[in-house]
Amino acid sequence: MALISKRASIFFIFTIVLITTHAYADCRGCCNGHGGTVCINGTTKCADGTELSDTCSNKGCDVCDEQESTNNPKTTIKIASFNIQIFGKNKASEPNVIKTLAKIIARFDVVAIQEIREKTNMAVTALESALEALGENYDYVIGPRLGKSNTKEQYAFFYRASVLRAGETYTYKESGADYIHREPLITQFFSKKSTFDFVLINVHVDPDDVDQEIAFFPEIVADAQKRLGEEDIMIMGDFNADCGYFDEDKQIKLRDERKFKWLIANQLDSTVAKDSCAYDRMIVTRSMAKKFTGKAGVFPFDIVYDLDVEPKEISDHYPVYAVFSYNVADTLSQSRFVVY
């Protein structure tokens, strides 16, 4: 009953707009008697102005995205972050789980993954193989095993090899005080289709020290800017930045709007559980914000896909995502946020 209630909440609280990467949903039958699907002012509707049904929206029917991709397929980069809860041999060995994870990853051009928990890289190689089985060519970079407790975790970035090239990758090293439980994995990416390049900082904040770790993030960003000579930077991942762990309205350095822009809004829910918590976040420097299209949100895989397993067998987190373009004006419209 909890799952049904959560789905109903998502339907009625948020606008449901699905994005896809290469394969778009079959929209046939969605507008029978209403003139077929068209893109009206950036929103997919029936030709007579009728709104799409929930069924059609949930299928991922978005001809505006399809039209944009067909007319100019190289203008956007779709970036996501996904905490794949306890991602190790058990999940990688379950065919339905690893196939679903691959389908989720394939919707985006680069995905930051947190909570990889196994020593042999079996899980990430299984995910790469599952992507190849879908006809997708993804490469990945993976960091060292980290953590102050006996439970160690790794970060990784999976990226579409035809779209992006990975540059320098390193794990942030603190000097002096030890504030961070799992030091971020930092990678520079270069678009193969444009001059757009950027740096992604992958983090998983310890729930017992959220305030301390998040307060240190601006220094991590500054370090990456200095080391890599790059101003377009995103810090992303599982911040545990909501509910009982963090006051999301607290004024901190990372909330300085002159320097940073938060792309995942406080009211979003990035958890599969009944409680609504925006744990997962994506924050960009003002330079990178100029490339932001205004499209950002949460991808609720349990609603989009007809799962053969319980949603929590995939993860207890939803992926969060944002879309960027190298032809976007500096002025950003908050009203264009895409949320589920």
Residue 275 CB neighbour total at 10 angstroms:
11
Give the SS3 label for residue 283.
strand
107-156 pLDDT, tens digit each: 999 999 999 999 899 999 999 999 999 999 999 999 999 988 888 999 99
* pLDDT for 6: 44
> Do 58 and 84 touch, CB atoms closer than 8 A?
no
Looking at the annotation, which residues are catalytic?
A: 153, 204
Q: Report residue 192 as tokens.
A: 């193969």
Q: Report residue 6 as tokens.
A: 């959560």
Phi, psi angles (nearest 5°) of residue 223: -65, -45
Of the pLDDT bands very low, low, confident and very high (cuts 50, 70, 90), residue 105 is: very high
> What is the pairing mode between strands 280-285 and 260-262?
antiparallel
Strand partners, 237: 203, 281
Strands (E), 210-335: 233-238, 260-262, 280-285, 292-298, 320-325
> Do 232 and 224 touch, CB atoms closer than 8 A?
no
* pLDDT for 193: 83
When pLDDT is averaged across residues 164-178 and rounded to a whole number, the result is 90
Give the SS3 label for residue 156.
strand
Cα–Cα distance between 15 and 257 in angstroms, integer?
Answer: 26
Of 5-9, 74-78, 121-125, the range with the highest mean pLDDT is 121-125
Q: Which helix (H) or strand (E) holds 292?
A: strand 292-298
> Do 174 and 183 touch, CB atoms closer than 8 A?
yes
Look at 278 and 250; give whichever has higher pLDDT: 278
27-70 pLDDT, tens digit each: 556 777 676 666 665 677 776 678 777 667 655 566 665 444 44
215-261 pLDDT, tens digit each: 899 999 999 999 999 999 999 999 987 786 666 677 688 888 999 99
Q: Is the pLDDT of residue 3 over 90?
A: no
Residues 6 or more apart from 227 whose CB is under 8 A from it? 170
Cα–Cα distance between 108 and 159 in angstroms, integer?
Answer: 8
Q: Is the pLDDT of residue 179 over 60?
A: yes
* pLDDT for 297: 93
283-340 pLDDT, tens digit each: 999 999 999 999 999 999 999 999 999 999 999 999 999 999 865 333 333 332 333 3
Cα 158 to its chain centre, rounded Å, is 11
